[in-house]
Amino acid sequence: MVASESGTDFPANRSRKQIADMSPRLGILKNIPFVIPFEVRVSMFRAFVEADRICSGRPRFMHMDGRQVVRIRRDHVAEDGFNKLGGDDKEGGMDMKSLFQIEFVDQFGSVEAGIDGGGVFKEFFTSLCQEVFDTNRGLWVPNSQQELYPNPMSFATEANHLKWYHFIGKILGKAMYEGILVDVAFASFFLAKFFRLLHIPDELASLDEQLYKGLLFLRHYEGDVAELALNFDLIVDEFGEKKTIELIHGGSSIPVTKQNRKDYITAVTNYKLTVQIRKQSNEFFQGLEKVIKKRWLRMFNPQEIQILMGGVDTLIDFRDLRANTKYGGLYDDQAPGIQMFWSVIETFNQEERRALLRFATSCSRPPLLGFKELVPNFCIRDSGVDEQRLPTSSTCVNLLKMPMYKSPRVMREKLSEGHHVRGWV
């Protein structure tokens, strides 16, 4: 790998003339990336990952030779994943760019049969995300839009909590490296920390809307600010106990006035958006950078990184999905049951379409550049002729297993019922 002056990586087999020709364009990419269409930057990101993979001799999942086996107990996915993959290289942890093979161990201690061609890792990753992003676990808390950010009190809910954030950053980096979408939404102020952007008070709305409205009221208050009896401190609740946090040295004895209220608003913003989750955020992004180079992501803004991680939050184009669907068993694109399936799907509203997509692939949002990017391709295969059976899925390989229904009404009912039984809606 050769580095250009812009800090971008080139495959080592490129000639100096090729590198010279590309450098001005990559200078634009580094300094003013947003003049380049988002979809083009996504394609360039994929190309950088692929070049890194090739130059470092890391083949894709389908290559089976030389892979280290990682055994994960099905009833301890997060614990085993953290213990075996969470440490840094110097601590005996695994290079997340390397190839490794996930083997699941059942409740009886037996290794489950199966070859990890990428699907088993996706199954592990999906199960892991369901556990670590569960807000009941205490590592993450949601804002009013159900977007996640690190729990300021994580130290009291999880042993080695900072190492957990580092591990989650690494595993999300691995997913981005392999092109696996993550069905999780992060608060925009949290993703902005990756760019070390200076927070502004308006960003508080994505953390605490009531606090934001209170500060907005203070900013425009025309009366005597001293009447509000505010000091440069905050009262926080730590497990039922009230604790005073001074925003500046001696803040508890410094009143907020009309002259210094802007300083107070800035101090509250800094504490809420930066200070209280600084350690957790630093560990998460350091873990992410173990896999994804920072300069690759500097092509994007925080909202675009969310799309890069989790797909595009847009209407689902089932014509595009159909054009990139494979079939198995007795099904093909012209089979009566398949013709009926696509007709039935056309009657679904967007919420139902998202539920079906998540039911089959584990992610409710489509890939940014279309379903051709879904790896492996979405697939439908038959699962018998019993019309009383519900459809099932194998999200690890994006597979929908559907009985050979004869009635559109029954097919629609069973598809909808299958989503609810699986808990996707």
Do 270 and 199 touch, CB atoms closer than 8 A? yes
Portion of the chain with pLDDT greater than 70, in percent: 85
Q: Do 68 and 100 form a contact (C-beta atoms < 8 A)?
A: yes
What pLDDT was estimated at residue 5? 38
Residue 90 has pLDDT above 80, yes or no: no
197 secondary structure, DSSP code: P
Reported as a pLDDT band with limits 50, 70 and 90, residue 2 is very low
Across 70-77, average pLDDT: 92
Judge whether 379 counts as a catalytic residue: no
8 Å CB contact between 99 and 67: yes
For 30-58, what is the mean pLDDT?
85
Name, in order, each residue with C-beta under 8 angstroms of 331's C-beta and a sequence gap of 6 or more: 337, 338, 380, 381, 382
pLDDT in tens, 277-329: 999 999 999 999 999 999 899 899 989 999 999 888 888 898 999 999 999 99
Q: What is the pLDDT of residue 292?
A: 95
What one-character-per-residue DSSP string does 35-59 give? GS-HHHHHHHHHHHHHHHHHHTT--
**Catalytic residue (one of 129, 363, 379, 396):** 396
The tens digit of pLDDT for each residue in 358-411 reads 889 888 888 888 899 888 899 999 999 999 999 998 888 899 999 999 999 999
* pLDDT > 90 in the chain, percent: 50
What is the distance in angstroms between the CA of the first residue and the CA of the last residue of the chain?
Answer: 46
Band of the pLDDT at 99, cuts 50, 70, 90? confident
Please report the pLDDT score of residue 373 as a whole number: 86
